[in-house]
Amino acid sequence: MMACMAVGNGLLRSTLKVSPVISGPARCLSVASSAPGKKSVVDKTGKNVVFVDGVRTPFLQSGTDYAKLMPHELAKNALLEITRKTGIPQDLVEYIIYGTVIQEVKTSNIARDAALCAGYPLNTPAHTVTMACISSNVAITTGIGLIASGAFEIIVAGGVETMSDVPIRHSRKMRSLMLRANKAKTLAQKLQLLASIRPGHFVPELPAVSEFSSGETMGHSGDRLAAAFGVTRKEQDDYALRSHKLAHEAQQKGYFTDVVPVKVPGVDGFVEKDNGIRVSTPEQLAKLKPAFVKPHGTVTAANASFLTDGASACLIMPEEKAKSLGLKPKAYLRDFVYVSQDPVDQLLLSPSYAVPKVLERAGLQASDIDVWEVHEAFAGQILANLKAMDSDWFAQTYMGRSSKVGAPPMDRFNLWGGSLSIGHPFAATGVRLTSHAANRLIREDGQFALITACAAGGQGVGMIVERHPDAPSFK
């Protein structure tokens, strides 16, 4: 794609020929909506791994009510609530896997430290995983692997991110000097090192907000991607408005049953709902200036996901184990795939690659999917992926496929909003996507859901979940 981008937007725009995005949830971009036939997906694990249920703390904008909490404290709440909600005693949980992206240095294995704070038994092993924005997807699929291998049965997987307080390091020069000072044996040696300090030593190193391989921020990549696919500013703003409107409706209707209240010291009462959902107007969004590529970029603070604090957790196990415990799982975890592309020019295009691969692995067509839950990093990223999925030329040129997979129908797509509105605590989002997929299947009487997300490094995930026949209904 680099060559196409280098010569401007004309090639992609003239070749893709995709209808513009719509702001409402009821119209389709490409694939005609039709009732999918009842199909079955072959279980590859031999265990019929099920998603019993998932929880998450309210997702809050960074710097608000969670500002004084450490990540393990947020994670503790999710770990407490998943056993409380499912009724599983903590001592039955055999293994815990937790994702995080910006690691707090005081908790080198946040899965273990959060579990201990939550009161899980000392003999419950736990480990931490990271894969940028899909870290809790990795936690879930790692759990699937452990169950399939027979190593464990009852597993809690989740993720946490606290952007209100990120580790900030001394400069490399200062760190080197401090380490040498620690080893100095005499006062004279220490004074000599002290005398070598220069103003530049005090410049801190902030956590990287840019792609390591390219040095470019994800916002810049989102702007370039939107330009390459001819996604206009208005289309992005319209999609962002759609996300906030749908999230607001879902919140008002009580659909976010995965949200559990959190008691935060110094905050009156309980924190009970996401605080980033804001229904605005096209006129208000149009006034915002570009956030990354100035002055002509199209990504703004309103059509990009915001820095978020939050934690999530879910309970997974073999179907037979769930039955023996009297549980009613919500969904089967049927299949998954991870993909990676060029992190320079296709950083955010992973859904376009993951969707056809995971559908093929599961033996399904796009038309079989009743519920789509797709991570919204940027509105432009979502719309570019929809155009890529709806392009034979893109499939043939970049994916080695004979034809397109087709863009999802919008009346099945992120109907409860997404990361643009609900928020995106990096490592916690994967469980949120899975919980919403399972809960939407129940409310919308569907059979299959597809979850997909992009991540830093040009990586991504695709997952298929299927509604369980014993899934409890929402009254």
CA distance 342 to 348: 10
**236, amino acid identity:** Q
Q: Residue 419: CB partners within 8 Å, gap ≥ 6? A: 305, 375, 376, 377, 429
Query: Is 133 assigned a catalytic role?
Result: yes
- Whole-angstrom distance, CA of residue 225 vs CA of residue 23: 20
Catalytic residue among 4, 28, 117, 454: 454
CA distances from 88 to 82, 257, 407 (A): 8, 18, 40
Beta strands in 85-235 (DSSP E): 95-99, 126-129, 155-161
Catalytic: 454? yes
Alpha carbons 475 and 460: distance in angstroms, whole number = 35
Distance separating alpha carbons of residues 25 and 411, to the nearest angstrom: 5
Say how many CA atoms lie within 13 Å of 253 toward its Cβ. 12
Give the helix/strand (H/E) hosting 14. Answer: helix 10-16
| Tokens linked to 240 | 């962002």
The one catalytic residue among 28, 117, 133, 314: 133
DSSP-derived secondary structure letter, 47: S
DSSP conformation class of 280: -
* Neighbouring residues of 64: CB distance < 8 A, sequence distance ≥ 6: 164, 275, 309
Provide φ and ψ at 183, rounded to 5°: -90, -15
* Bond prior to 25 in cis (omega within 30° of 0): no
> Taking a C-beta distance cutoff of 8 angstroms, is the pair 77, 85 a contact?
no
Hunting for tokens 């599961």 — which residue is that?
Answer: 362
Q: Are 433 and 375 in contact (CB under 8 A)?
A: yes
DSSP calls for 377-411: SBHHHHHHHHHHHT-HHHHHHHS--SS---PPBGG
Report d(CA 134, CA 137) in Å as an integer: 5
DSSP code for 128? E
Helices (H) and strands (E) in the chain, counts: 16, 10
- CB burial class (10 A; 0-12, 13-18, 19+) of residue 33? middle
Q: What are phi and psi of 192, to 5 degrees?
A: -65, -40
Find all residues with CB under 8 Å of 221, minimum gap 6, and list them.
Answer: 211, 214, 347, 348
Which positions are annotated as active-site residues? 133, 454
